[in-house]
Amino acid sequence: MRTYLQSVDSEWYNQRLVRVFVVVLVAFAVLTARLLHLQIIEGDALRRLSEINSIRLQDMDAPRGLIYDRGDHMLVDNRPSFNLYIILKDARPLDPTLHKLSLLLKEPVDELKGRILNSKKRGTYTPILLKEDIGRDMLAAIEVHKFELPGVQVHVTTKRHYIYTQHAAHLLGYMGEINPEELQCKPFEDCKSGDSIGKFGIEKAYESFLRGKRGGRQVEVNAIGQVERILKTVDAQPGHDVVLTIDWTLQQKAEEMLAGRAGAAVAIDPDSGKVLAMASSPSFDPNQFVTGIKREQWNDLISNPFRPLENKALQAEYPPASTYKIVTAIAGLEEKVIDARTTFYCPGHYKYANRHYRCWKRGGHGEVDVVRALAESCDVFFYQTGEALGVDRLAKYAKAFGLGGATEVNLDREGKGLIPTAEWKKRRFGVPWQGGETLSIAIGQGFNLTTPIQMAVLAGAVGKSGLRYKPYIVEKIKTADGQVVFQSSPEIAGGIQLHPTTLNLVHQGLWQVVNHPKGTAWQSRIKELDYSGKTGTAQVVGRREGDEKDPERVIPKDHAWFMAYAPSINPKIAVAVIIEHGEHGSSAAAPVASAMIKTYLGADQIAPATAGQSMGGALEIPAAVRPGLPGPGEKLSGMRQ
């Protein structure tokens, strides 16, 4: 019996031992299999993860290219910006870290948590932006408490800085965060979410040059995510610098003269097409857009009735008013509808069909020829000239001077304006052209629309005997170390070959606009300088006071135009100025242009005027203004006194 029991115990013990052995064997097999899986199958991935714990890659933003005026005067540069980030994997425990941050930043903890939750980048090792541009004082506070803020980092980057705040804002443009649609476009394939790109003006047009190429560095971090050492660096490549054709002194003068008024002023070099100044008023501060404009600021800008975000020099379209009479005069002379001997009597109105078309001078100008009609801006003379020409012949000459089409100055959203034809009206409205509409077109009203830059180009072309250059705004583009990668050169955009007699008569009329006592811009003459120009008053459509539909609405004042070139002999600058609701070109726009001309030419280029002053006898102009004109005291053949 005893032997039997011992045998049973031994068998039971052996069975237990075998079971234990099997369990141990299975456990070792599982562990071995797991080790093989981790080391062989997932070895590379796990090795990378372990390296991430200590070695990380950090982006290095490229400094954006700078912007200068023609004299290498810096207009736009970059400033350091300190951005606060958090890495969730390192920020343990998270709640105490956020609580400490909220005290330093003086912001609620819930707002900080909300930024983390709303972040598009939620990876545990991906830095999440908590606050941009924290400033040097806040940076110092973060550094003092950095050991109490695990996972919190400050990245130093650059932000755009517009040195002169509101000056040339429409020309220089502004920056903004890239949107998802732009990220899909090829020009931005090297950008990532959160990057800032040019959204307007030069910043947008030359984005590919201004934007550099980002770099990076490999760093070793400690247990709380702080950088211990830099292992490898690939330097960022800075963007190219852009040098504009703008004369900064002239730009500032234009903006000074426009201050407090809505309007625009453009100046170009008629010998090349270089844009010397491009001012639009009212303006805005592009620095507001750098770190994200506030909702209140944005609402103020878009609700402003004077449209501060619009570049009026380039985008706004206005009836050219009497400045268009230059085109009518040239067309009439070239088409032989009028000549030096042609005169029309102006009693203050012109009857066409059953309607009286008024002249701006109610008492009339009396008997006028083309020179006096330009000088005194007689509507009746140009009504009859336009009637004889017809709308299509007028359009032909207007388009030859670049009106009705973009100047292609390479800035965004340029307006084209409108030069109507009979075929255009038929296509647009389905009705034929009416003869009375031609009378309005001939004096720059009706369907006519032009931009200030188009009118500056027109002024330059007239001053240069019909030759028109394509305007351009960038002189050259160079690398950060000064190597030129792009150099602009003048490009003839078109024009028209005009008969010398046409040029002589038109130049004489435009000279008298400014330099003769009865010229419409006489008050804006420069005593030391002969320059030529043309005023204009563009009618603004509105309801009369007491209108039943809108009894409180009053007709707004007309827009004021002035265009000029200076000096009259071999001009060096052409200017166009529009003052919205300025009423009269002679009193509102001409003084702006006169001040710009004096600023640009300076005392060294301003010579004493040589013009005669009497309009009671023969019409007089300096003999040297254009070949073939009579000298002072001589009569122009066939011209009425």
The residue annotated as part of the active site, out of 81, 283, 322, 377, is 322
Instruction: Report how far residue 358's alpha carbon sits from residue 199's, in angstroms, rounded to the nearest whole number.
Output: 46
Query: 556 preceded by cis ω (within 30°)?
Result: no
- At a CB cut-off of 8 Å and minimum separation 6, what does 587 contact? 523, 560
Q: What does the angle CA 159 – CA 160 – CA 165 come to, to the nearest 5 degrees?
A: 130
Instruction: Report how far residue 407's alpha carbon sits from residue 29's, in angstroms, rounded to the nearest whole number.
Output: 80
Catalytic annotation present for 54: no
Give which of 293, 319, 321, 320 is closest to 308, Cα–Cα.
Answer: 293
Burial of 392 per CB tally in 10 Å (0-12, 13-18, 19+): middle
Instruction: Report how far residue 330's alpha carbon sits from residue 503's, in angstroms, rounded to the nearest whole number.
Output: 8
Query: 270 preceded by cis ω (within 30°)?
Result: no
- At a CB cut-off of 8 Å and minimum separation 6, what does 282 contact? 262, 304, 306, 308
Instruction: Report how far residue 576's alpha carbon sits from residue 267's, in angstroms, rounded to the nearest whole number.
Output: 7
Give which of 594, 602, 577 is closest to 531, Cα–Cα.
Answer: 594
- Centre a 10 Å sphere on the Cβ of residue 503 and count the other Cβ atoms it contains: 19
> What letter does residue 359 receive in the DSSP assignment?
P
Instruction: Report how far residue 317's alpha carbon sits from residue 319's, in angstroms, rounded to the nearest whole number.
Output: 7
Q: Where are the beta strands (DSSP E) in 72-172?
A: 74-86, 128-131, 152-162
Strand duo 263-268 + 559-566: pairing: unpaired
Q: Where are the beta strands (DSSP E) in 183-274?
A: 196-200, 215-221, 227-234, 241-244, 263-268
Q: What are phi and psi of 513, to 5 degrees?
A: -55, -40
Give which of 521, 240, 278 is closest to 376, Cα–Cα.
Answer: 521
Distances (CA, A) of 136 to 139, 156, 182, 226, 230: 5, 11, 33, 20, 24
Letter string b/e over residues 577-609, b meaning 16 or more CB atoms within 10 A of that residue's CB: bbbbebbbbbbbbbbbbbbbbbbbbeeeebeeb
Question: Catalytic site residues?
Answer: 322
